[in-house]
Amino acid sequence: MGENAPLWAPTDVEVASSPMTKFREFCAIRNAVDLPDHDAFHAWSIDARGAFWSAVWDFCQVRGEKGGRDLIHGDVMLDARFFPDAQLNFAENLLIKHGDSDALIFRGEDKVSYRWSWDQLHSTVSKLQQAFRAMGLGKGDRIAAMMPNMPETIACMLAAASIGAIWSSCSPDFGEQGVLDRFGQIEPKLFISCDAYWYNGKLQDVADKVRNVAPKLGCPVMVVGYAGDDLALADSLPGGRTMDAATIAYVAKPVEYEQLPFAHPLYILFSSGTTGVPKCIVHSVGGTLLQHLKEHRFHSGVEGGDKLFYFTTCGWMMWNWLASGLASGATLCLFDGSPFAPSGNVLWDYAAEERFAIFGTSAKYIDAVRKGGIEPLKTHDLSDLRLITSTGSPLSPEGFSFVYEGIKPDVQLASISGGTDIVSCFVLGNPVLPVWKGEIQGPGLGLAVDVWDDDGKPIRGEKGELVCTKAFPSMPVGFWNDPDGAKYKAAYFERFDNIWCHGDFAEWTEHGGLIIHGRSDATLNPGGVRIGTAEIYNQVEQLDEVAEAICIGQDWDDDVRVVLFVRLAPGLSLDTELEKKIKTKIRIGASPRHVPAKVIQVADIPRTKSGKIVELAVREVVHGRPVKNKEALANPEALDLYAGLEALKN
């Protein structure tokens, strides 16, 4: 297709049958308003937010009491309260089906494979609920888990939610200090851990880590058997027991659900923590549920029986997003381990064999598949796959093209962006709109998303700050240990009064879509001109010679100069010719202002546990400043490569 044509567009039949269209028609009739198209629908969803979110509740048949009021104090973001009279339970709204059909399907690389029916999920949650109550756990208590993305983790979360406890999780690859930096702040009443896990074909034992962490958390430990010796680990811990031992005395019965206020805490998620101790972001029962239902049902078209997959760990908010797919009756396809073990086809094998409807992943994974020469289009039957979603970092235009040329030509590709801060998306896919190369399809329903300049004025066709100008249900309840809300307010509302400033550098497109140019706190300012790092990555990562890149601004000669670090393909060295090729690619593909003053080869690029490169941490090291929390990184040793580089001294 040419540059002036979309990569994908829904047919008239697909538009008419889409849950998005059915919901628009429902809202128009119910509220006696004219909503002829999606633009009109989105505008109404912002102008009449109370009525809109009330319609989401009813259309999605949320279980609970909605109460008489849908929104109070709606004009003041920090004071707004959605459904202040409501009572509901998150777990009750996920455990919506019974029977022997699949609720959860699991693969741990090529080492472990099993599935749970809806009845088995109910049974396990019931036994865990009884065990938790016997431990004295209840409303408001924190349950922290260091677990793989496996069915037992989903069951433990649902059992916690059923009694009104607050769930918080990370993946078992976190270091001891990383676990303590997170869970130590929230003082859990129970710590859940696996015994070991598989990664890249190798057994990773966590027994010593658990034995070191548990005493400092000062709470009982429940060990879930997966890849090691759960009984031996549990026996070595004071008050430790296995999940089997904790639940063996209980007989499954109907799960009981504690009815809770809409704003009752459900999850504590953590910021990446690369600039200090991670922020503990508290998300609500009702806000999380409604926002995820909206994104799954309408923006993603999830329906009962769909196979829903996201490649994620339990330390990334996409795990929480994936778990909510149960509320739409989807079968969750879980995977834990390396997406390249035993080969780069492992996820595509899984997708083909289980007939995924939705395949979610990161932009970095799509780029790695492209550069690895993997072309599922030629090797796998993906005929049931209708939606691919990508997040974690901006998906490059070349990534868009590769999906259609190398994976599936008739799939909807939804680049999505939001974050841990809102446990969901500000901008994402839309099944009734076309997909344009390099663009996110549009803002979420009910979200007053805009792009503002430094003076707080809306702009079009220029880059600026991504903001949300009106309150929405999945705003955090607040931060843990922030009684006066000062940290919460400083994080999002300091830049513009009564406006959520998200920290993304963004731009509206002529199609009404958006482009995210990277984090605004990592924006480059050579000569006072703001440049998004994603614009540079989009160019250099097209080159076969460049495996990965990271870009920072270095303070230099009373200005800022752009420095580009590149990790090259195996066996290559950066010479004058390749450096010229890189700079020329950037100059032609972006602009002369984007051309880095320095291009430097490095052996590795530091990234968070969820795979995001950490520009701010590299910038701190280059300027000789300490990085406050290396425990947040998957490969903290990589930062040492950037300290004291001779190439940066001239």
Across 64-73, 244-253, 386-395, least confident range = 386-395
Q: What is the tens place of the pLDDT at every residue in 114-123?
A: 999 999 999 9
Q: Is a pLDDT exceeding 70 seen at residue 593? A: yes
pLDDT band, very low/low/confident/very high, at 226 (cuts 50, 70, 90): very high
Q: Which residue type sits at 5?
A: A
| Whole-angstrom distance, CA of residue 53 vs CA of residue 45 | 8
pLDDT band, very low/low/confident/very high, at 206 (cuts 50, 70, 90): very high
pLDDT of residue 3: 65
Residue in the structure block whose two tokens are 């990161």: 362
Structure tokens given for 582? 């890189």
Say whether 320 sits in a helix, a strand or coil.
helix
Q: What is the tens place of the pLDDT at every residue in 381-431?
A: 999 999 999 998 889 899 999 999 999 999 999 999 999 999 999 999 999
Query: Which residue among 231, 261, 291 closes a domain?
Result: 261
Query: CATH number of the domain that 595 lies in?
Result: 3.30.300.30
Q: Is a pLDDT exceeding 50 seen at residue 1? A: no
| Whole-angstrom distance, CA of residue 27 vs CA of residue 260 | 27
- The dihedrals phi and psi of 248, each to the nearest 5 degrees, come to -65, -30
pTM metric for this prediction: 0.90
What is the chain's length?
Answer: 650
C-beta neighbour count of 615 within 10 angstroms: 23
Q: Is a pLDDT exceeding 90 seen at residue 634? A: no
268 domain-assigned: no
364 domain-assigned: no
Strand segments, DSSP code E, in 573-636 are: 598-601
Query: Which residue among 229, 261, 293 closes a domain?
Result: 261
Cβ–Cβ under 8 Å, residues 200 and 341 = yes
Q: Is a pLDDT exceeding 60 seen at residue 439? A: yes
| Whole-angstrom distance, CA of residue 336 vs CA of residue 112 | 10
Please give the angle made by the CA atoms of 417, 419 and 421, to the nearest 5 degrees.
145
C-beta neighbour count of 232 within 10 angstroms: 12
Number of domains within the chain: 2
28 domain-assigned: no
Cβ–Cβ under 8 Å, residues 144 and 186 = yes
List of residues 6+ apart from 443 with CB closer than 8 A: 42, 426, 427, 449, 514
pLDDT of residue 177: 87
Q: What is the tens place of the pLDDT at every residue in 479-534?
A: 999 999 999 999 999 999 999 999 898 999 999 999 998 888 777 777 766 778 88
Cβ–Cβ under 8 Å, residues 125 and 161 = no
Calculate the alpha carbon distances from 15 to 43, 135, 261, 429 in Å. 19, 51, 36, 14
231 domain-assigned: yes
More confident residue, 628 or 90: 90
What is the tally of helices (H) and strands (E) in the chain?
Answer: 21, 32
Say whether 292 sits in a helix, a strand or coil.
helix
Sheet of 64-65, strands arranged across: 64-65, 87-88, 260-261
The mean pLDDT of 227-247, rounded to a whole number, is 96
Say whether 492 sits in a helix, a strand or coil.
helix
| Whole-angstrom distance, CA of residue 244 vs CA of residue 455 | 59
pLDDT band, very low/low/confident/very high, at 274 (cuts 50, 70, 90): low
pLDDT of residue 47: 98
pLDDT band, very low/low/confident/very high, at 560 (cuts 50, 70, 90): confident
Axis-axis angle for helices 38-47, 49-59 (nearest 10): 110
SS3 of 117-178: the string is EHHHHHHHHHHHHHHHHHCCCCCCCEEEEECCCCHHHHHHHHHHHHCCCEEEEECCCCCHHH
The mean pLDDT of 193-205, rounded to a whole number, is 96
Question: b vs e for 133-159, b when ≥16 Cβ sit within 10 Å of the residue's Cβ?
Answer: bebebeeebbbbbbbbbbbbbbbbbbb
Radius of gyration of the chain (CA): 24
How many CA atoms does the CB half-sphere of 159 hold within 13 Å? 31
Calculate the alpha carbon distances from 354 to 306, 349, 591 in Å. 10, 8, 45
| Whole-angstrom distance, CA of residue 248 vs CA of residue 527 | 67
pLDDT of residue 319: 97
Q: What is the tens place of the pLDDT at every residue in 310-351?
A: 999 999 999 999 999 999 999 999 999 999 999 999 999 999
Average pLDDT, the chain: 94
pLDDT band, very low/low/confident/very high, at 590 (cuts 50, 70, 90): confident
Query: CATH number of the domain that 249 lies in?
Result: 3.40.50.980
SS3 of 91-116: the string is HHHHCCCCCCCEEEEEEECCCEEEEE
167 domain-assigned: yes
The mean pLDDT of 223-246, rounded to a whole number, is 96
More confident residue, 64 or 371: 64
Cβ–Cβ under 8 Å, residues 230 and 205 = no
Q: Is a pLDDT exceeding 80 seen at residue 55? A: yes
Kindly write down the DSSP assignment for every residue of 30-42, as one continuous string. HHT----SHHHHH
186 domain-assigned: yes
| Whole-angstrom distance, CA of residue 503 vs CA of residue 464 | 10
pLDDT of residue 13: 97
C-beta neighbour count of 30 within 10 angstroms: 13
Domain that holds residue 572: 526-648
Residue in the structure block whose two tokens are 């039949």: 13
Q: Which residue type sits at 640?
A: D
Query: Which residue among 261, 284, 314 closes a domain?
Result: 261
483 domain-assigned: no
